[in-house]
Chain A
Amino acid sequence: MSKPESESEPTPDEYGTAQSESEFESDPVEAFDDAIDMDLRSGADDCYKCSTCDTSCPVAEVDDEFPGPKFQGPEQWRLKRGDDHDIDPSITDCSNCMRCDNACPSSVPLSQMHNTARGEYVEGLAPSLWNAEDAIADGEYREALSYLGDIPAELSIEFVRNRVLSNYGTMAGLGSKFPRLTNFVMSNRITKEVNDRLLGITGERDFPEFADQTFREWWRERGGPKVESADKRVAYFHGDYSNYNTPEVAKAMVRVYERFGYEIRVPTQRCSGTPMFANGMLRDARRAAEVNVTNLGDFIDRGYDVIASCTSCSMALRQEYPELFDFEETEKVSVHTYEALEYLRIHEDLEGELRDVKDVEFPDLAYHAPCHARNQGISTQAVELLSEAEGFEIEDVGDSCSGISGTYGWKTEKYDKSMQIGEDMFEHMRDAEGDTGLTECPTCAMQMGHGTGYEIRHPLEVLEAALVN
């Protein structure tokens, strides 16, 4: 690979200024969403009505009111006429686990249909809310007030709740400025009650704690990459969660990759959009995606591949962006993005490295494959890798969905269903030999811990413990 000029300089947009990292920055993005205007009726051509998707939907399994992916996707789209905008509200009950996508023998773009329909639904539900927001952004406060006056209270509350959940980074960005205080407040019984009653965010779960120092702060303090390389270069997409809540995963990624001689860059980025898709907040998702695609695209041009340590983030960049948005570099980012373990297994002999490692920190593991890993064909990577290594005992706890699906399990009205979906997994974990849970997905990890009380690790942490001194 040729060495582009000035490649050793930290790129100007890499660290970002405090300013541009703020979630409140206004982007020069007009409020025009490709996905909302997308017509997917022709996607229904591939459907044979076989119902395989329905039988693999974890929500349909526990929720009799949920009509299932076949209805939500090809049927609903086929029944649509040009001027119809009445998407059935049940679309909001889909957790966006995307298992249906993977199950369909005929490649019907189910999750694309769901995401688009959900976006349309939310758009139709809350035009006044969006208008109010736009008016606020334009400084037209009087106009904004007039929009807000039209809306029934329950509606605006659900909308606000879903926006809060799907814009986790905004909240986390604030919270992590005062991590201890926020952690104290969020774990407070009264706060939980208030969240539950007023916002519909379940009080059954413990809010994830904010780290004292975010990953980006740590990275900056560390002075960026310690390794430079002309041909082994990755741009790291950490996502919000490993930045604010589990920087240990991000740090493990850094140490493992540097151990193999990779030069790592950490581009300025926004949320991948996963929670926004799941809540139909396509406007928010589009804004975030444009920043990500532009910045990651720059790095790809300079010879970097993109890696993510969260399977939902890599899923978003690889599949959902091209399905929903049409930025210039969407396709390029999609084909250059990998999950972090997947990438290392392609390029390095991890099996060989691990073969003789004995005496490891987490020897007995119970692994759960995130649904989004399944769609990328990497749901068996951890088991394949670690079962070859002498120092580990690893067991796959089965192919069920964990049930949390990002924000789904956080909603008061979905909490019980989320736990019902997860029941299989909890039971299998308890039966498994391992006493440490293992998964690539941060929200699956949350659910695994919540349902079993186990300690949960990311494969990168396990690799770090085994391979980095």
Chain B
Amino acid sequence: MSSHTDHHSRTGVVVIGGGSTGCGIARDLAMRGISVTLVERGNLTHGTTGRMHGLLHSGGRYAVADQESAKECIQETRVLDRIASHCVEMTGGLFAKLPADEEEYFQEKLQGCRDCNIPAEVLSGEEARELEPHLSPEVEKAIWVPDGAIDPFRLCVANAADADRHGGRIETHAPVTDLVVEDDAVVGVKVRHESGPGKRVHGKEGETEEIRADYVVNATGAWAGHVGEMAGLDIEVRPSKGVMTIMNVRQVDTVVNRCKPKGDADIVVPHETTCILGTTDEEVDDPDDYPEEQWEVDLMIDELSQLVPMLEDARTIRSYWGVRPLYEPPDTGTTDPTDISRQFFLLDHDERDDLGGMTSIVGGKFTTYRLMAEKISDHVCEQLGVSTRCETAEEALPGSEDFSVLRDYMDEFGLRSPIGKRSVQRLGSKADEVLKTGEPNPVICTCEAVTRAELRDAIGGSGTDLNAVRLRTRASMGNCQGGFCCHRMASELYPTHDESVVRESLDELYQERWKGQRHALWGEQLSQAMLNHALHATTMNRDRDPAKGSSAVEYADFDAGPGPAVDADGSTRATADGGVPDGGVSNESVTDESVSSGDGGDDAAGGTRGDQ
């Protein structure tokens, strides 16, 4: 590591990690008046948060085995429904019993829900099918619970935006490369900004910064051990992977769980325009490098079509994997990862390892992120001698203040009703500000109904990082997986950014879209991928030979305007007839490698993992 550092700064608290936990902590601390800086190595939700299932747990899933977690879940679900309504869809959930499932467990589940104050109601098979017509005729009965669906991207962005509003600083694409330790205490972090501080711009030089702080919070989830190592700490995170498969449409509008003790492939969660099938639980050595295997995807479809038979032949658009940040206190000695508690742990390294100035938070789950943030913020405040109270359970997040989706979309926004409705659902109370631009507002992503105005707003918040734009808006996340809209999204960056920046952003987005589809290449999605490829090959020369070529595109070689292009020196250059040595195409693209390697473990372009 070079000893030169480009920037030096000071802050009250550094939070490492921009997942739900880190974003929640940053908001909480900022609201308590503490100056806070959040640093994240990719974009927000780059880690596990961007690769989770999207279930807002009522607690029903834990009601038998882990009642402590179950109680926290129902409490937090109620809070989130209130403070994050634009990220939440209260779908309700079912625990459906098939003939093979134990009656005794069904009763235990019901009793467990009642014990934990989770509203639960028994439905007959017919009643359950009335609610969800595509449920298997085999389903004998079901327990209804108040599960929901939640969009992790919107939630994290809203938390970060609120931290920012309260004076916090959010730095993405800024991995922590070292912890600064002085006199047995962590006093700061070193980060490498991939494109200078501030919003990401492709092609901008990287810079380094040392951020000194009164306190450091390590909220890096499955990566907490890696960060700990930087100060010689041993944090026993046991990462465990799980697969999720995304269907093209919503076969169900309610969360559907199989009513049996823990098992693989037992839940379908409706998510925006899709349904997500999940999942597995398998310990891995390295949260950054683990195999993504086709049998896992097949298992999802085979098992879950027992519950919802139409899944068997339905179109899947992609699959993705996430790693759970499971933590096991020393000496527990559990061998099966599903036995590890879903609760969270605060590890104060002063108490634990005699290293002051830093606490790590590990374990837990997305649904209880706010509670976790509250606990650790209380702890940090105690260290800093601050006594402000936590208000995150009462104050609505930006976007969730008082809004209604019942609007006249055509009259108000000039949008067709399903487009207007989905936009307002995503934007929440920001809808008027974002959509009423007074300018033409075409739909750019037709699968997910995202208009130019919404994209421009997202670009305003994330620079040239089109993957971050995607996560904010859902653009390119529909059935064409970006084949018809990635380039339209990219052209929104022009002319603010020049051609090479736009091209690099486009390549990165298109890459990322392709990655997840590799696990869905059969049937309709295979046809889609081939059509996308052909379109991009014939219009953007994406099938070029990566081994050849110069670095810049000579646009004039394709279209020199009326008459031959004349250079400053008076010479005439080649025109559109192909008289160009290299086909006139840029190449040097590092990213091309990862397209062809197809091994699934790559993540060359930081910030492209966040999925769904």
| Distance of A67 Cα from B270 Cα, bound (Å) | 27
Cβ contact within 8 Å between B314 and A79 = no
Least CB distance, B147 to chain A, in whole angstroms: 14
| A50 interfacial by beta-carbon distance below 8 Å | yes
Cβ contact within 8 Å between B479 and A47 = yes
Cβ contact within 8 Å between B447 and A49 = yes
Q: In the complex, what residue of chain A is closest to B89 when comparing beta carbons? A: A81
- For chain A, the bracket of interface size reads 20 to 34
A42 cross-chain contacts in B, Cβ below 8 A: 249, 251, 310, 314
B315 cross-chain contacts in A, Cβ below 8 A: 45-46
Least CB distance, B254 to chain A, in whole angstroms: 8
Interface residues of A in 40-82 (CB under 8 A from B): 41-42, 44-50, 67, 70-71, 75-82
0/1 per residue, B126-144, Cβ < 8 Å to A?
Answer: 0000000100000000000
| A291 interfacial by beta-carbon distance below 8 Å | no
Q: In the complex, what residue of chain B is closest to A44 when comparing beta carbons? A: B249
Given that A44-B479, A78-B273, A78-B447 are contacting pairs, would A50 and B531 also be in contact in the complex, using a CB cutoff of 8 Å? yes
| Distance of A78 Cα from B447 Cα, bound (Å) | 8
Interface residues of B in 386-440 (CB under 8 A from A): 410, 416-419, 421-422
Q: In the complex, what residue of chain A is closest to B273 when comparing beta carbons? A: A78
Interface stretch, picked from A85-93, A190-198, A264-272, is A85-93
Identify the interface centre among B249, B310, B484, B524: most chain A CB within 10 Å of its CB.
B249
Residue from the list A39, A75, A78, A86 in contact with B417, Cβ < 8 A: A86
Cβ contact within 8 Å between B253 and A79 = no
| B248 interfacial by beta-carbon distance below 8 Å | yes
Residue from the list A48, A76, A81, A82 in contact with B480, Cβ < 8 A: A48
A79 cross-chain contacts in B, Cβ below 8 A: 273, 418-419, 421-422, 448-449
Cβ contact within 8 Å between B416 and A90 = yes
Given that A76-B418, A79-B419, A84-B421 are contacting pairs, would A48 and B527 also be in contact in the complex, using a CB cutoff of 8 Å? yes
Given that A44-B479, A49-B484, A78-B447 are contacting pairs, would A86 and B418 also be in contact in the complex, using a CB cutoff of 8 Å? yes
| Distance of A49 Cα from B448 Cα, bound (Å) | 12
A84 cross-chain contacts in B, Cβ below 8 A: 418, 421
| Distance of A86 Cα from B422 Cα, bound (Å) | 12
Cβ contact within 8 Å between A49 and B483 = yes
| Distance of A21 Cα from B528 Cα, bound (Å) | 51
| A83 interfacial by beta-carbon distance below 8 Å | yes
A78 cross-chain contacts in B, Cβ below 8 A: 248-249, 273, 447, 478-479
| B536 interfacial by beta-carbon distance below 8 Å | no
B483 cross-chain contacts in A, Cβ below 8 A: 49
Q: In the complex, what residue of chain B is closest to A49 when comparing beta carbons? A: B480
| B533 interfacial by beta-carbon distance below 8 Å | no
Q: In the complex, what residue of chain B is closest to A76 when comparing beta carbons? A: B418
Q: In the complex, what residue of chain B is closest to A41 when comparing beta carbons? A: B249
B527 cross-chain contacts in A, Cβ below 8 A: 48, 106
Q: In the complex, what residue of chain A is closest to B530 when comparing beta carbons? A: A48
0/1 per residue, B221-265, Cβ < 8 Å to A?
Answer: 000000000000000000000000000111101100000000000
B528 cross-chain contacts in A, Cβ below 8 A: 48-49
Cβ contact within 8 Å between A67 and B253 = no
| Distance of A106 Cα from B569 Cα, bound (Å) | 54
Interface residues of A in 307-340 (CB under 8 A from B): none
| B177 interfacial by beta-carbon distance below 8 Å | no
Least CB distance, B403 to chain A, in whole angstroms: 17
B421 cross-chain contacts in A, Cβ below 8 A: 79, 84, 86
A49 cross-chain contacts in B, Cβ below 8 A: 446-447, 479-480, 483-484, 528
Interface residues of A in 1-53 (CB under 8 A from B): 39, 41-42, 44-50
Given that A67-B416, A88-B417 are contacting pairs, would A48 and B249 also be in contact in the complex, using a CB cutoff of 8 Å? no
- We find that the number of chain B residues with CB closer than 8 angstroms to chain A is 33
Cβ contact within 8 Å between A81 and B248 = no
A76 cross-chain contacts in B, Cβ below 8 A: 418
Interface residues of B in 72-99 (CB under 8 A from A): 89
| Distance of A71 Cα from B445 Cα, bound (Å) | 12
| Distance of A78 Cα from B317 Cα, bound (Å) | 13
| Distance of A77 Cα from B524 Cα, bound (Å) | 17
Given that A49-B484, A78-B479 are contacting pairs, would A71 and B416 also be in contact in the complex, using a CB cutoff of 8 Å? yes
Cβ contact within 8 Å between B416 and A41 = no
| Distance of A76 Cα from B421 Cα, bound (Å) | 11
B419 cross-chain contacts in A, Cβ below 8 A: 79
Least CB distance, A81 to chain B, in whole angstroms: 6
0/1 per residue, B313-330, Cβ < 8 Å to A?
Answer: 011000000000000000
Interface residues of A in 443-464 (CB under 8 A from B): none
| Distance of A41 Cα from B446 Cα, bound (Å) | 15
| Distance of A47 Cα from B248 Cα, bound (Å) | 10
B446 cross-chain contacts in A, Cβ below 8 A: 49, 70-71, 75
B251 cross-chain contacts in A, Cβ below 8 A: 41-42
Least CB distance, B359 to chain A, in whole angstroms: 41
A45 cross-chain contacts in B, Cβ below 8 A: 248-249, 314-315, 479, 524
B422 cross-chain contacts in A, Cβ below 8 A: 79
| Distance of A361 Cα from B100 Cα, bound (Å) | 75
| Distance of A89 Cα from B416 Cα, bound (Å) | 8
A90 cross-chain contacts in B, Cβ below 8 A: 416
| Distance of A202 Cα from B418 Cα, bound (Å) | 31
| Distance of A89 Cα from B410 Cα, bound (Å) | 10
Q: In the complex, what residue of chain A is closest to B448 when comparing beta carbons? A: A79
A71 cross-chain contacts in B, Cβ below 8 A: 416, 446
| Distance of A49 Cα from B314 Cα, bound (Å) | 17
Cβ contact within 8 Å between B250 and A41 = yes
| Distance of A48 Cα from B525 Cα, bound (Å) | 8
| Distance of A44 Cα from B484 Cα, bound (Å) | 16
Q: In the complex, what residue of chain B is closest to A74 when comparing beta carbons? A: B479
B254 cross-chain contacts in A, Cβ below 8 A: 82
Q: In the complex, what residue of chain A is closest to B250 when comparing beta carbons? A: A41
| Distance of A39 Cα from B131 Cα, bound (Å) | 13
B270 cross-chain contacts in A, Cβ below 8 A: 81
Least CB distance, A133 to chain B, in whole angstroms: 26
Least CB distance, B450 to chain A, in whole angstroms: 11
B249 cross-chain contacts in A, Cβ below 8 A: 41-42, 44-45, 77-78
| Distance of A395 Cα from B410 Cα, bound (Å) | 45
A106 cross-chain contacts in B, Cβ below 8 A: 524, 527
Least CB distance, A119 to chain B, in whole angstroms: 16
Least CB distance, B28 to chain A, in whole angstroms: 32
Least CB distance, B338 to chain A, in whole angstroms: 31
0/1 per residue, A77-118, Cβ < 8 Å to B?
Answer: 111111110111110000000000000001000000000000
Least CB distance, B12 to chain A, in whole angstroms: 43
| Distance of A88 Cα from B417 Cα, bound (Å) | 5
| Distance of A106 Cα from B315 Cα, bound (Å) | 13
B449 cross-chain contacts in A, Cβ below 8 A: 75, 79
B418 cross-chain contacts in A, Cβ below 8 A: 75-76, 79-80, 84, 86, 88
A47 cross-chain contacts in B, Cβ below 8 A: 479
| Distance of A430 Cα from B465 Cα, bound (Å) | 58
Interface residues of B in 442-496 (CB under 8 A from A): 446-449, 478-480, 483-484
Cβ contact within 8 Å between A44 and B248 = yes
List 17 A–B pairs whose Cβ atoms lie within 8 Å, in order of A's numbering. Answer: A41-B249, A42-B310, A45-B248, A45-B524, A48-B527, A48-B528, A48-B531, A49-B447, A49-B480, A70-B446, A71-B416, A75-B446, A79-B422, A81-B250, A86-B417, A89-B410, A90-B416
Chain B residues within 8 Å of A, Cβ to Cβ: 89, 133, 248-251, 253-254, 270, 273, 310, 314-315, 410, 416-419, 421-422, 446-449, 478-480, 483-484, 524, 527-528, 531
- A-B pairs with the 5 shortest C-beta distances? A82-B253, A45-B315, A79-B418, A41-B249, A88-B417
14 new A-B contacts at CB < 8 Å, known A41-B249, A79-B449, A81-B253: A42-B249, A42-B314, A45-B248, A45-B524, A48-B531, A49-B447, A49-B484, A70-B446, A76-B418, A77-B249, A82-B250, A84-B418, A86-B417, A86-B421
